[in-house]
Amino acid sequence: MTFGPGIIMPDSLLGIDVSHHNGTVNWSAVASAGVSFAYAKASEGANVQDPMFVQNYAAMRANRLYRGAYHFFHPGTDASVQARHFLALVPELASGDLPPALDVEVGDGQQPSAIAAGIRAWLQEVEDAIGRPPVLYTSASFWNVNLAGAIGFDRYPLWIAHYTTEPQPHLPSGFTRHTMWQYTDSGQVAGIVGVVDLDRFHGTLEELKTLAKP
């Protein structure tokens, strides 16, 4: 099976993340290919729902994948409105569900302090609703430039995006560790037509189970 590009680490836990851009996913084939966990886009901004979310989220559970949902954040839109929009779409977390993730990769022309404040507001509101810290997705290049090295976010599990063949990703300022690594956006996995984002979980299967709701 083909997972590249990137360094293939047979003992690492492989994950993918998808949205409607990946079309209809054959989740049975994905699970059979050795994928352990997956995130599906649920929402974006204040009112956008990914049209494949409901189908993807249900099929991930049906095929015994550790599953999560993510929200694409727009700093120029009220963070509380975005959090409520996301929470209205995502079912109550159950056993095997990973914490929701906040995808931070656009600045919308906002100042670093405003972006940081919006991120904090979304993370806190979602944490209050689900009872555990959400995951924060970003890249070092975006974070260091657009948030001017904002600190105080390292209590959240970091899902780092860094497309490289290096053995470890570059981390944003203020972070010393990562939980997941999106290491390519051009992987190939059985059950998906075209390319897909590939992720590695930085830990053991037991640690992945711990991150998922017990």
Residues 39-97: pLDDT tens digits?
A: 999 999 999 999 999 999 999 999 999 999 999 999 999 999 999 999 999 999 998 89
Q: Nearest to residue 180, comparing CAs of 84, 66, 26?
A: 66
Task: Identify which has the larger pLDDT, 150 or 211.
Answer: 211
Q: Which of 78, 105, 127, 154 is catalytic?
A: 105
Q: Is 97 helix (H, G, I), strand (E, B) or coil?
A: strand
Q: How far apart are CA 54 and CA 26, in angstroms?
A: 14
Asked about 105 being catalytic, the answer comes back as: yes
Domains of the chain in start order, with CATH, are 13-211 (3.20.20.80)
Q: Is 135 helix (H, G, I), strand (E, B) or coil?
A: strand
CA distances from 68 to 71, 100, 108, 137, 151 (A): 10, 6, 25, 13, 25
pLDDT at 11: 55
pLDDT > 90: percent of the chain: 87
Asked about 166 being catalytic, the answer comes back as: no
Alpha-carbon torsion angle 119, 125, 128, 131, nearest 10:
-60
Report the 10 Å Cβ neighbour count for 150: 19
